[in-house]
A and B are shown apart, each in its own frame.
Chain A
Amino acid sequence: MRRPVTEMNRDTKHRTVRCRGTLCLWLWSAACAVLVMTGCGAEPARFSLNLVHLHSQDAPDEKGQVTLSPAARQNIATVLDALYGTPDAPRLPPLPEPEVLNFLEISKLQRAAGPTGRDDPQGGERGLYRKHCIHCHGANGDGAGPTAQYLNPYPRDYRMGLFKFKSTEGTDTPPTHEDLKRVLVEGVPGTAMPSFKVLDDGEIEALVHYVKYLALRGQTERLLVEELAPEVDGRYLDPQNVVEERKIELLETVATLAGTWQAAVASEVPPPPANWEDAASIARGRELFMGKKALCSSCHGDSALGDGNRDIFDDWTKDFMGPTGVNVSSYAPLRLSTWNEDPRKVLLEEFYARGALKVRPLKPRNLRRGVYRGGRRPVDLFRRVRNGILNYMPYAEKADSADAIKGLIDDDVWHVVAYVRSLPYEKITEPSEEIRFQRDLP
Chain B
Amino acid sequence: MSGFELQIEDWQQRRWPHRLAVTVTCATFPLIWVGGLVTTTDAGMAVPDWPSTFGYNLLLYPWQTWISGPWDVFIEHGHRLLGIVVGVLTLALSAVTLRSAVPRWLKTSVILALVGVIAQGGLGGMRVLLDQRTLAFLHGCLGPAFFAYCAGLCVVMARPGSTGQAAPAAQAVRKLWRVALAAAVVSYLQLIVGGYLRHVHYGTVPRMFQIAVLFHLLGAVALIGYSLVLLRVAKGITAVRWTTRGLCLLILVQIGLGVGTWFLKYAVPLVSEDWSWLAGYTLQAGSLSQAVTVTSHVAIGSLILATTVLIAVRAGCLLRSAASEVPQLASCGEVPV
Contact = CB atoms under 8 A, between A and B. Distances in A.
B46 A369 contact: no
Interface string A104-137: 0000000000011111111001010011101100
Given A118-B46, A118-B72, A192 B283 contact: yes
Contacts of A34: 134-135, 138
A197 interface: yes
B132 A42 contact: yes
Interface string B228-241: 00000000000000
A118 to B, nearest CB: 6
B282 A370 contact: no
Contact of A146 (B54, B132, B206, B270): B206
A138 interface: yes
A127 B209 CA distance: 22
A60 interface: no
Nearest to B131: A115
B205 interface: yes
B54 A121 contact: yes
A366 interface: yes
B164 interface: no
A152 B269 CA distance: 5
Given A38-B135, A146-B209, A150-B210, A189 B281 contact: yes
A145 B206 contact: yes
A115 B45 contact: yes
B276 interface: yes
A194 B285 contact: yes
A347 interface: no
Contact of A198 (B54, B69, B73, B287): B287
A152 B284 contact: no
Given A120-B54, A139-B203, A195-B285, A150 B266 contact: yes
Contacts of B132: 38-39, 42
Interface in B115-136: 130-132, 134-135
A146 B197 CA distance: 9
B46 to A, nearest CB: 6
B99 interface: no
B298 to A, nearest CB: 17
A160 B76 CA distance: 39
A370 B272 contact: no
B179 to A, nearest CB: 26
B142 to A, nearest CB: 11
B278 interface: yes
B285 A191 contact: no
Contacts of B46: 117-118, 125
Contact of A150 (B201, B213, B279, B284): B213
B202 A306 contact: no
A145 B153 CA distance: 42
A316 to B, nearest CB: 15
Interface string A302-331: 000010000000000000000000000000
Nearest to A196: B285
A188 B134 contact: no
A144 B203 CA distance: 10
A186 interface: yes
A68 interface: no
B131 to A, nearest CB: 6
A149 B273 contact: no
A406 interface: no
B200 interface: yes
Q: Is the interface of A mostly helix, strand, loop or mixed?
A: loop
Interface in B209-239: 209-210, 213
Given A116-B42, A131-B42, A152-B269, A194 B283 contact: yes
B121 to A, nearest CB: 16
Q: Is the interface of B mostly helix, strand, loop or mixed?
A: loop
Interface residues of B, number: 47
Nearest to B210: A149
A149 B206 contact: yes
A37 interface: yes
Contacts of A188: 282
B280 A145 contact: no
Interface string B174-190: 00000000000000000
A195 B284 contact: yes
Contacts of A148: 206
A357 B207 CA distance: 10
Contact of A193 (B200, B276, B283): B283
A355 interface: yes
B269 A355 contact: no
Given A117-B45, A119-B48, A190-B279, A363 B273 contact: yes
B53 to A, nearest CB: 9
Nearest to A148: B206
B69 A371 contact: no
Contacts of B72: 118, 125
A135 B202 contact: yes
A198 B45 contact: no
A37 B126 CA distance: 13
A149 B205 CA distance: 9
Contacts of B213: 150
A121 B266 contact: no
A117 B48 contact: yes
Given A34-B138, A150-B210, A192 B280 contact: no
Nearest to A135: B202
A243 interface: no
18 contacts: A116-B45, A121-B54, A144-B206, A147-B266, A150-B209, A150-B210, A150-B266, A151-B269, A152-B270, A187-B282, A187-B283, A189-B282, A190-B278, A191-B267, A355-B205, A363-B273, A366-B279, A371-B279
Interface of A: 34, 37-39, 42, 115-122, 125, 127, 130-132, 134-135, 138-139, 144-152, 186-199, 306, 355, 357, 363, 366, 369-371
Given A115-B45, A149-B210, 9 more contacts: A118-B73, A121-B54, A146-B202, A146-B206, A147-B209, A187-B284, A190-B272, A195-B283, A196-B285
Interface of B: 42, 44-46, 48, 54, 65, 69-70, 72-73, 130-132, 134-135, 138, 200-210, 213, 265-267, 269-270, 272-273, 276, 278-287
